[in-house]
Structure 1
């Protein structure tokens, strides 16, 4: 019947179209605002790149851009390493595997705000790890990164990696379980130990998983806001300022919609700088596969 053929389209396409219009529409609206003198309310007018020059010339954005690089690289490497390590350990068919998978994935179900608050308690020198170790008797122990301007950004890295490593583990574990068992057996017959088997056979076989993990984690890093706000609030001072916090500061603290929109567009450009090369590389790989297939 016609109704039965149309029902799937009626269920799928309207929400999909609404989502596309919502995302694309508000993105274009934000881009338009970035070229206007809008303050507390949107204003019609064209001021060119003035908002972008103002944003790029601020100390806040300079620190935010630097922190974005530091946080992105450290978060990516630490989360990937932890996720891969956990996946390899679970891949050994250990007892209680299902329970361990659930435990490692649990942080992903916790909101970033809760993660930031809890890690803020743990890293607070007067409440958390430092106080606990000092009370035990090690009075010289110091772990005050949260109030150290040069190290505070790494507290966000630690909290973010704790929350996202379970996600990386799930992807890597799926990749490890998809490796052909015959390859593993052949490596073992040739006398390769576990380390050499993983390094020479298993890990090269799951390189697309690495690419997918890198891309997703970089998106997490670029869009990080609530975790940083809950954990450090951008401080001490502006030491842990991130681009998303700059957007919030201009839009909701200073009431400058045009400047905040310009900062948001710059964030979008950072994200596109990650996604576009990945899309082009994936397209190139597909073309290479068809040419040799």
Structure 2
């Protein structure tokens, strides 16, 4: 009998390292591709669509008949648009200024390593976790003369106390500032606190050895080193101020009258209520230009510093 030797086992070919490298390279792109496509269509695609509508004669529904700059001429002939721009200037300046000032003050206090920091930090950050609708509704109840602060103080016996800003056309815009500052100050505090904790302690120790007081150290060394944080806070707050809509609607509804109308509420009312879609689109484009005018210089400065 002839002995038949068994055939040697042939191991299946395994993917080489090149294949694994290709998978690792393509997998993140495949995961991000759907999100990228959705963003491209529903954000940038609709931005381009809105820009095109602003040059059409659209009213109730989109009409793709070219109208040139007619919608922009009509926009800048509306008295309500100038009221909205004036209110945006008041709201934006006070909102950004108070948020940065209060946020910096709270961050400096928290940076003193106080014992209750672990409790206070979440309390200051909590308002930012709320939606603008919740914030606006809560402050609407609190500032309502019939059931809020004024009514409560009257029940305490101070019948001469009066705080009717919410229904006063001359003061209503400041109630929006109060609510906005209350919500965003904690977030700005967190930004400044992160900046303070990132400063090299050796610099502060050197200033103390040279005899610098605490106030002088903050004024001449620490605060100037926080310039990037100031810039970042300004960009974020300006962006939030320009596109503020739900806070105003929940708090004042744009009233009394049009006393608290902002470009965002103007855009909504002219697009969906007054059947002036082209004018509403033109106002949205103006808002986009305002945000772009803030963000582009910031990005340019960031890229320039990296280079």
Aligned residue among 8, 19, 24 for 1:4: 24
- Give the superposition deviation at 1:269: 1.1
Aligned residue among 186, 199, 212 for 2:232: 212
CA RMSD, Structure 1 to Structure 2 (Å)? 1.3
Q: Mean Cα displacement is larger for which, 49-58 or 60-69?
A: 49-58
Q: Mean Cα displacement is larger for which, 151-160 or 137-146?
A: 137-146
Regions of 4+ moved over 4 Å: none
Aligned residue among 5, 8, 19 for 2:39: 19
In the other structure, the counterpart of 2:90 is 70
Q: Distance in 1 between matches of 2:288 and 2:212?
A: 46
- Give the superposition deviation at 1:101: 1.2
Q: Secondary structure at the match of 1:272?
A: helix
Q: Distance in 1 between matches of 2:199 and 2:121?
A: 19
TM-score (structure 1 length as normaliser): 0.94
Q: Distance in 1 between matches of 2:296 and 2:26?
A: 35
For the pair 1:149 / 2:174, whether they are aligned, the reply is no
Q: Distance in 2 between matches of 1:246 and 1:268?
A: 14
In the other structure, the counterpart of 1:252 is 272
If each structure's helix is expressed as a fraction of its own residues, which one has the higher value? 1
In the other structure, the counterpart of 1:243 is 263
Q: Flag structure 1 segments of 5+ consecutive residues without an equivalent.
A: 288-293
For the pair 1:227 / 2:247, whether they are aligned, the reply is yes
Q: Flag structure 2 segments of 5+ consecutive residues without an equivalent.
A: 1-19
- Give the superposition deviation at 1:256: 2.0
Aligned length: 287
- Give the superposition deviation at 1:156: 0.4
TM-score (structure 2 length as normaliser): 0.90
- Give the superposition deviation at 1:129: 1.2
In the other structure, the counterpart of 2:65 is 45
1:1-59 Cα deviation digits (max 9, x unpaired): 13233212211243124313321110010011111111221112111111111111111
Q: Distance in 1 between matches of 2:147 and 2:210?
A: 54
